[in-house]
Amino acid sequence: MTRTTPLFPSYLFVHMNVRAVRWQAINSTLGVKHLLSQNERPLALPGGFVDSLRAAATVDGTVNSMLTLKSGDRVEIIAGPFASKIGELLHLDDCGRVAVLLDFLSTKVPVRTTVKNLLPA
Among the four given CATH numbers 3.40.50.620, 3.40.640.10, 2.30.30.30, 3.40.50.300, the one describing domain 46-120: 2.30.30.30
Give the Cα separation of 10 and 25 in Å (integer). 18
Per-residue pLDDT tens over the stretch 54-81 = 887 888 888 765 556 788 999 999 888 8
Lowest-confidence region among 5-14, 23-32, 38-47, 106-115: 5-14
Per-residue pLDDT tens over the stretch 16-62 = 988 888 999 998 999 888 888 888 889 888 888 888 888 878 888 88
Domain residue ranges of the chain, discontinuous segments joined by +: 13-44, 46-120
Give the Cα separation of 45 and 25 in Å (integer). 20
Per-residue pLDDT, 1: 41
pTM to 2 decimal places: 0.47
